[in-house]
Amino acid sequence: MFEKLTKFLEKRLLPIFEVVGQQVHIMSIQSAFQTLIPVTLIGAVALLIQRPPVSYETLEVGSFFYNFMKGWSDLSANYGDPLRLLNTITLGSISVYLSISFSYFLSSKYSLNQITSVFITFTSFLLVHTLSIDGGLSNRYFGGEGMFSTLIVVIVTVELLNFLVKHDVGKIKLPEAVPPVLQASFTTLFPSFIIYGFWTLIVLVTKNVFGTEVPGMIMDVLAPFLAAFNSLFGTVLTSVLAQIAFWFGIHSDSIWVIMGPIFQSNFEVNVAAYGAGVLPNALPHIVSSPLVWGFGTIGGSGATLAFAIQLVRSKSEQLRAVGKIGIIPSFFNVNEPILFGAPIVLNPVLFIPFVLAQAVNISIAYGAMAINLVNKPFAWPGSITPVVIQQFLISFDWRSIILWIFLIAVDYVIWYPFFKMFEKEKLKEEGIIVDNYKETQIA
Amino acid sequence: MINVLLACNAGVSTAMMEKKIAEEAKRRNIELIVNAASVSRIESFVKDNDIIVLGPQVRFASKKIEKEYPDIPVYVIEMADFGMMRADNVLDNILRVLSK
């Protein structure tokens, strides 16, 4: 059965994953999202410290904590504006950073001059994503709402620029004496006019024919698709695909990129709601990075922490050795030693738990948050923050740690039968058990 | 002096491997520097390296990288060597590929 499954996957899915893992746009988006993490973090922290974790109104009047929280609250009301502004210009303007970062990585891939490419793309981003109001600029589409249109603007702009530059369109010949930096900016002068003209035209048509703005229109078109993926179903489906890809040894990040903008904008909405005073169990979204990286991938992709514990306690010398190398990184959600050491990658015996455990974790954690057993996420310290601390920080809720321990127990049960099968194979190889073990005992 | 570009998926485990290779080289008195990079950004780091070493999780990129940088040899770390962090085998292979 395992062999048939392997053959089927190799024939149907491997070619798709190979293309996805190599695709320049997906690779660049992946790099871009990685660079956005500090920006997101700063924005979230700024908002978290301007709101006391417990509302003083729920505390006993006159008690120490009442005074402390009330003081915090008053301080924030009077002097919290810079913190709220910091949030608005970081997490709340995430599309701005995305346009810069994504265009930087994509233009490097095409060996274009990076800084001029970023300038041109950023200007195009502003052309499409802002309106002039009251003599200033509107930042309505700078946040999560503008992310998808940002991705489209960056791809179209850089592709156009690449095409124009590579075909020498509008290349201006300058004398040898002109310094190279100046030369580079002149090379893109004419192409940039074409690109700005193109976006101006798009904005004009959208406004005058459809009576709306480009980012809003793109969101309307994508709405049904987003609604399907912005759900438990979409997250689990992506998780399954990501795990199958990783089983082939293709890093799952290239699949999770699909969910990136959804995770990011949900998270931003939750942080904003928390900052505005919504209780942590009443926040609007569950689907987010913390759901997947905090509770799904316990010990790394495939929820392998339970498996790592089984390895450490294995009777097989080889598996024990892998367990010893892999167990400590597992507590930081890094599991490559186990993935490639056991190995799990391309190992038919371990395919099922590798795909299943993570999907089960995500579903259980989603359920626990949906019925308010655990707070919904509004902070994200990053997936390699040591476990337990990480789970606590996601929603400042100690019950998250209990959920985490419960999920490890569930994973242990899911992994166990497959681990046993695999261990038996290894023990045979090591000559510790032989096939006719029982007969020899009796004899 | 040997410059090795170790590329993977921006992972932490590669940092472990990077350190182990450097230690192994030091133990054998080989002058060698390991530069780690994410495979998606390889073009910014590739210059001046003698060999590109890929982690097994990005082995599918090898064909494309070989084509893009025909002058630099590419070597993919075997899964077992990577998983068990066997830097001695990896270093052996690096030296073998370079001596060709």
Task: Look at residue A396 in the predicted model and tell me its pLDDT.
Answer: 86
Q: Are strands A132-133 and A136-137 parallel, antiparallel or unpaired?
A: antiparallel
CA distance linking residue A332 with residue A94, whole number of Å: 27
CA distance to partner chain A, nearest, from residue B33 (Å): 22
Domain that holds residue A307: 2-17+230-439
Q: Which residues pair with B34 in a beta bridge?
A: B4
Q: Which residues of A touch B61 (CB under 8 A)?
A: 21-22
What are the structure tokens assigned to A266, written together? 């949900």
The shortest CB-CB distance from A337 to any of B38, B39, B83 is to B83
In A251-327, which ranges are E strands? none
Cβ within 8 Å, pair A341-B57: no
Longest dimension (CA), chain A: 96
CA distance linking residue A359 with residue A239, whole number of Å: 6
Task: Look at residue A105 in the predicted model and tell me its pLDDT.
Answer: 93
Domain for residue A384, yes or no? yes
Q: Which of A269, A266, A308 is nearest to A291 (CA)?
A: A266
Number of neighbouring beta carbons within 10 Å of residue A142: 26
Q: Which of B98, B96, B1, B16 is nearest to B55 (CA)?
A: B16
- Encode pLDDT of B70-93 as tens digits: 889 999 998 888 888 889 999 999
Higher-pLDDT residue of A187 and B97 is: B97
Q: What is the pTM of this model?
A: 0.78
Number of neighbouring beta carbons within 10 Å of residue A34: 16
Task: Look at residue A1 in the predicted model and tell me its pLDDT.
Answer: 64
Candidates B40, B67, B79: best to mutate against A (most CBs of A within 10 A) is B40
Question: Is B27:B57 a contact under the CB 8 Å cutoff?
Answer: no
Cβ within 8 Å, pair A336-B80: no
Domain for residue A269, yes or no? yes
Domain that holds residue B91: 2-99
Q: Which residues of A touch B82 (CB under 8 A)?
A: 336-337, 340-341
DSSP H/E element including B13: helix B12-27
CA atoms within 13 A on the CB side of A145: 14
CA distance linking residue A198 with residue A18, whole number of Å: 34
DSSP, res A134:
T
Q: Residues A107, A112, A114, A120: is their CA dihedral positive or negative?
A: negative
Place of tokens 């926040």: A283
Task: Look at residue B10 in the predicted model and tell me its pLDDT.
Answer: 62
Task: Look at residue A434 in the predicted model and tell me its pLDDT.
Answer: 60
Domain for residue A386, yes or no? yes
Using the Cβ of A14 and the Cβ atoms of chain B, whether some distance falls under 8 Å is answered with no
The shortest CB-CB distance from B56 to any of A22, A34, A249 is to A249
Rounded to the nearest 5°, which phi and psi values hold at A394?
A: -55, -40
Q: Which of A415, A441, A76 is nearest to A276 (CA)?
A: A76
The reply to whether ipTM tops 0.85 is no
The nearest alpha carbon in chain A to B38 belongs to A31
Reply yes or no: is the peptide bond before residue A343 cis, omega within 30 of 0.
yes
Number of domains comprising chain B: 1
Task: Look at residue B53 in the predicted model and tell me its pLDDT.
Answer: 93
Task: Look at residue A111 in the predicted model and tell me its pLDDT.
Answer: 86
- pLDDT digit string (tens) for chain A, length 443 residues: 667 777 777 777 777 777 777 788 888 888 888 888 888 888 888 887 887 777 777 777 888 888 888 888 888 888 888 888 998 899 889 999 999 999 999 999 888 888 999 999 999 999 999 987 888 888 889 988 888 899 999 999 999 999 998 888 877 777 777 777 777 777 788 899 999 999 999 999 998 988 888 998 988 888 888 888 999 999 999 999 999 988 887 778 878 888 888 998 898 889 888 888 888 888 999 999 999 999 999 999 999 999 999 999 999 998 999 999 889 989 988 888 898 888 898 888 899 999 999 999 999 999 999 999 999 998 887 777 788 888 988 888 899 999 999 999 999 999 999 999 999 988 988 887 665 544 444 44
The nearest alpha carbon in chain B to A24 belongs to B40
Rounded to the nearest 5°, which phi and psi values hold at B51?
A: -150, 145
Domain for residue A240, yes or no? yes
- CATH code at position B67: 3.40.50.2300
Using the Cβ of B15 and the Cβ atoms of chain A, whether some distance falls under 8 Å is answered with no
Number of domains comprising chain A: 1
Task: Look at residue A422 in the predicted model and tell me its pLDDT.
Answer: 92
Rounded to the nearest 5°, which phi and psi values hold at A178?
A: -70, 130
